[in-house]
Amino acid sequence: MTYEDALEHLKALGPELRTGGSTATGGGGLGQRRKFTLDHIRALLRALGEPQKSFPSVLIAGTNGKGSTASTLASMLHAAGLKTGLYTSPHLLRVNERIRVSRAPGQDAQPPSANGAVTQETTQLAQIPDADFGRLYEKVDAAAVGLIAAGELPHSPSYFELMTAMAFTWFAEQSIELAVLEVGLGGRLDATNSVEPIVSVITDIGIDHTEYLGNTIGQIAGEKAGILRPHGVLVTLAQHPEANAAIGEAAVRLEVRGVDAARCLPPARLPNVVDSDLAAQQAQAGGSSPLPGSGSPLGRNRYELSLEGEILHVDSPLCGQHQQRNLALAIATALELRSNHRLLDGRPVAISNAAIEEGLRQTQWPGRLEWRCGGAGRAALLLDVAHNPAGAWTLRAALAHLPEAQPRTLVFGCLADKPVEEIEQVLLPLFDSASSDPARRGDHVILAPIEHPRAAPLAELAAAAERLSVPFHAAGSVREALEHAWKVTPEQGVIVVTGSVFLVAEVRSLALGRSEPEG
């Protein structure tokens, strides 16, 4: 099967949270609401020879920050010389981004695609090549067809289940030494929970996916705690009291050993640490506005930690004070791995402080407070995948570090199963051109319809904005929204794109000169 064929099969599955079927199994409709169970992914993995048992895994669950934590930890393991597999979701530009393996020294980051373009953006962990993606999809889908015919599966696996099986199979083929896996939805019944993790990590928990996980922090935390194992290891940080209680109860019941990542947080006196070189450049320019061609004005997270009698120099490109919690979780997990765990062949997980520092410096996780210079007289873009209220508040806190007088335009779109009005209440007033703040009178709000089956209708986005009495422009498409934003925003301003991973993906694709994201 070709790569293009595999993408078409995946698209035919329909929405992730509904049952359908690949073109091979005769599906393609929206289907019924999917009943989550680990039985299906386990049956599929058995048919594939249990690839997940050929490597140890770190499993990371949470509402926000799990992808940042996973990418940072994988970068550290790669820097330590370990052949590392990284599985994340969703993707921004290409579905291949979800499945990555450490590349050998001197290996090209990504082979050219069919049209000759090099599409890989990360330099450390190589995306699965197109040809292998098509080959593995055919293998996994054929196994699913056989299970359905034998009555061992009631319907085709979901998009995520197929991708998870492909990732595990690719990791097994590549003989990786350690996998870092980001949970997709929840934890207890997520397909990634089919592994037996040597370390479980839980990031910050908020309200999201309430239809499937529960309506309270405690209920959602209980689902996330489903990644814990009897007598296992949990790395986490203290957070919302309801989350702490639910996670703590599960940990006590399972006799889990807890690792508090608080010692890996920066000293309390340090606020969000801004890149000193950039700050100096801005000061020399006589103002606080971003410099053309510079990096993000939000800066890098830079600080020092005193750990085990040594100074660890943290220098991460991931912007925002909130990332310090994710960095702490990744560092604490690395320390736990090197102190108490071994690889399948019995070797210790050797991760030096130098490797941790290098991994921090080289982490790449686009779409999270990602600053892209507009070029050609255009305003810069600030891309952030904030898709729930907690993410919106995090973005709001980051925007407070931008120059107050800088003109701003918000491009916003959201999925219908998100609390649209609550997210708009957090963000839209910051761009209210009708407010009494003279600095905001040149601001703009542009609402964009997302090309996705679960997208919130433009009318719903507009109605919420009207209730807030914030002036807005309703664009007919994401492309139109971006073009209008560049038209109305001066070169020294910034265009903030947020509300959905899918919106950020499409804008990022357009900004990079591509027609649309793949897969």
| DSSP secondary structure code for residue 35 in this structure | P
pLDDT at residue 105 greater than cutoff 80: no
For the record, the structure tokens of 288 come out as 């606080």
- pLDDT tens-digit profile of 51-77? 999 999 999 999 999 999 999 999 999
One domain for residues 496 and 379: yes
> What's the CATH code of the domain at 427?
3.90.190.20
- The pLDDT assigned to 32 comes to 58
For residues 329 and 423, membership in a common domain is answered with no
Same domain for 436 and 324: no
Whether 189 and 94 map to the same domain: the answer is yes
User: Do the bridges between strand 233-236 and strand 257-260 make them parallel or antiparallel, or are there none, so unpaired?
Assistant: parallel
Residue 328 has pLDDT above 90, yes or no: yes
When mean pLDDT is compared across 207-211, 238-242, 340-344, the lowest value belongs to 207-211
Q: Is residue 287 part of a domain?
A: no
Q: Which of 334, 362, 390 is the last residue of a domain?
A: 362
Q: Indicate whether 218 belongs to any domain.
A: yes
The answer to whether 3 and 130 have CB atoms below 8 angstroms apart is: yes
Same domain, residue pair 335 and 374: no
Mean pLDDT computed over 86-106: 90
Q: Does a structural domain hold residue 71?
A: yes
pLDDT for residue 429:
96
Q: pLDDT value at position 25?
A: 42
- Is 255 found in the same domain as 376? no
The residue segments making up the domain with residue 240 are 52-125+174-266+299-362
Residue 219, pLDDT above cutoff 60: yes
DSSP 34: P
CA distance 463 to 473: 12
pLDDT for residue 464 is more than 60: yes
- Tell me which of 104-108, 170-174, 310-314 is least confident: 104-108
Q: How far apart are CA 468 and CA 466, in angstroms?
A: 5
**Do both 203 and 222 map to the same domain?**
yes
What average pLDDT does the structure give for the chain? 88
Residue 282 has pLDDT above 60, yes or no: no
Mark whether 445 and 313 lie in a shared domain.
no
Does residue 44 lie within any of the structural domains?
no
pLDDT value, residue 271: 47
Confidence of residue 206 (pLDDT cuts 50, 70, 90): confident
Q: Report whether 370 contacts 383 (CB < 8 A).
A: yes
Based on the fold, state whether residues 354 and 374 are members of the same structural domain: no
Structural domain total, the chain = 2
Q: Is residue 27 part of a domain?
A: no
**Domain stop point among 362, 382, 407:** 362
Collapse the DSSP code of 320 into the 3-class scheme (helix H, G, I; strand E, B; otherwise coil) and give the result: coil
* Upper half-sphere CA count for residue 242 (Cβ side, 13 Å): 14
Residue 73 lies in a domain: yes
| Residue 244 covered by a domain | yes
Bridge partners of residue 370, in order along the sequence: 383
Q: Do 334 and 203 reside in the same domain of the chain? A: yes
Same domain, 203 and 235: yes
CA-CA-CA-CA torsion sign (373, 376, 378, 379): positive
Cα 465 to chain centroid distance, Å, stands at 27
In a domain, 43, yes or no: no
Q: At what angle do helices 3-11 and 130-149 cross, to 10 degrees?
A: 50
CA-nearest of 87, 110, 119 to 100 is 87
Q: Based on the domain organization, do 375 and 415 belong to the same domain? A: yes
